[in-house]
Amino acid sequence: MLFNNKRKLQGVLAGVFASLMLTGCGAATAKTKEAMELVKALDYAEALTVFDAAQEAEENERLIARGRGIAHMGLTEYEEAISCFKEALASSNGLIEAVDFDLNYYLAAAYIKNGQHSEAEAAYDAILALRPQEEDAYFLRGSVRLALNDYEGAKADFDKVISMDAKDYERLIEIYELLTHYGYKEVGQEYLQNALTNDAKGMNAYDSGRIYYHLGEYQKAYIALEEAKEKGGAESYLYLGKAYEATGDYNYAASVYNSFLSKEKGNAELYNQLGLCEMELGEYQKALEAFQAGKEIEDSGYLQILSFNEIVAYEHLGDYQKAAVLLDSYLKTYPDDEKAKREKDFLSTR
């Protein structure tokens, strides 16, 4: 099973938290900064060791607890992460600071990972009680409410998000994808159709093209995205290619991705999508090369997806030994990936 760029439920939620990872929360001192760099490099175990050294050096205890929580999340140790974030929140001096909101977002993420959606909802409630215009909190609370089968509550949150910025089409599409994931595709499409109707003249070709794509109106999507493509944006090429993929024309989709990548090498998502097309075409060596090229791009946010797809490409090429070695390394970094665990079971039979 390949990973494409639509692991959206996880990706949408992760995106907000990723932006918090290294934001300023007060003056961290040497050891804490060193540990956070290790967190950024995904070396969570070593980061925890350095956080211990930071504590011995009597650095900022709140930042240490926060950093430990993030490291424990990286190790899929969610109970420990929850404990760390609670500890950091409890050490407040009584004045509400930016770090308190940051910590509540992380606490909610740890609760979600631990399957505690009601507790996550309460964390978002706490944020919104003090920041009633916090758009991200409404959006994320809506996603949690869907997980709790609270459709009406989720829709109220999504309506609030849209009322705050009706022209944030990126967020609108994220709402559509969440609703689709939970079985409310028609509701999500209604949001998209309303956006087209309400801003028919003001919406640019890229935004209308990707909305048409999600509505399944691929011919209209082609026309709009071909126009948007002329401005050279990677996202326009991405959606144009995906529209052709949706109709089964993987050859043309691959040519769209290659057209952009021949001019601009630095887009990991396009390399991933190109690799997926080549896999569909049975061009496994080309797919492998695309996934590996994407991995060379630093801080893209696609390293996990590309790494897994690289393993699958090696499998299709019959190099099971190489695939097994890479998969063992992958699971050390991403130990909670259930698909990868199943892939390991499969490889053990080869």
Q: How confident is the model at residue 9 (pLDDT cuts 50, 70, 90)?
A: very low
The CA-atom distances, in angstroms, between 318 and each of 53, 289, 323 are 46, 15, 9
Tell me the mean pLDDT in the region 314-322: 95
The pLDDT tens digits of the residues spanning 115-149 come to 999 999 999 999 999 999 999 999 999 999 999 99
Q: How confident is the model at residue 92 (pLDDT cuts 50, 70, 90)?
A: confident
The CA-atom distances, in angstroms, between 260 and each of 125, 147, 218, 278 are 43, 38, 20, 16
Q: How confident is the model at residue 341 (pLDDT cuts 50, 70, 90)?
A: confident
Tell me the mean pLDDT in the region 309-335: 94
Task: Indicate whether 8 pLDDT > 50.
Answer: no
What share of the chain has pLDDT > 70, as a percent?
92
The pLDDT tens digits of the residues spanning 233-274 come to 899 999 999 999 999 999 999 999 999 999 887 899 999 999
Q: What is the DSSP letter of 287?
A: H
Residue the block writes with tokens 């909670």: 336
The CA-atom distances, in angstroms, between 240 and each of 23, 281, 330 are 34, 18, 31
Q: In this structure, what token pair is assigned to residue 16?
A: 């907000």
Buried b (16+ CB within 10 A) or exposed e, 236-273: bbbbbbbbbbeeebbebbbebbbebbeeeeebbbbbbb
Task: Indicate whether 19 pLDDT > 60.
Answer: no
Tell me the mean pLDDT in the region 138-162: 98
* Region of residue 232 (left: phi > 0; alpha: psi -120 to 50; beta: else): left
**Which pLDDT belongs to residue 3?**
55
Q: In this structure, what token pair is assigned to residue 333?
A: 């970094």
The pLDDT tens digits of the residues spanning 100-118 come to 999 999 999 999 999 999 9
Tell me the mean pLDDT in the region 162-173: 95
Name which residue leads in pLDDT, 347 or 147: 147
Long-range contacts from 114-118, C-beta under 8 angstroms, 24+ separation:
114/78, 114/79, 114/82, 117/144, 117/147, 117/148, 118/148
Query: Which residues, other chains included, contact 106 with Cβ-Cβ below 8 Å and sequence gap of 6+?
Result: 17, 20, 66, 69, 70, 73, 81, 85
The pLDDT tens digits of the residues spanning 40-56 come to 998 999 999 999 999 99
* Predicted TM-score of the model (pTM): 0.83
> What mean pLDDT is reported for the chain?
90
The pLDDT tens digits of the residues spanning 176-232 come to 999 999 999 999 999 999 999 998 788 999 999 999 999 999 999 999 999 998 876
Tell me the mean pLDDT in the region 285-290: 98
Q: How confident is the model at residue 23 (pLDDT cuts 50, 70, 90)?
A: very low
Q: How confident is the model at residue 14 (pLDDT cuts 50, 70, 90)?
A: low
Classify domain 1-115 by CATH architecture: Alpha Horseshoe (1.25)
132-203: which CATH number, 3.40.50, 1.10.10, 3.30.70, 1.25.40?
1.25.40
**Which pLDDT belongs to residue 315?**
95
Residue range(s) in the chain whose domain bears CATH number 1.25.40.10: 1-115
Q: How confident is the model at residue 27 (pLDDT cuts 50, 70, 90)?
A: low
Q: Please tell me the distance from the alpha carbon of residue 202 to that of residue 195, in angstroms, as a whole number.
A: 10
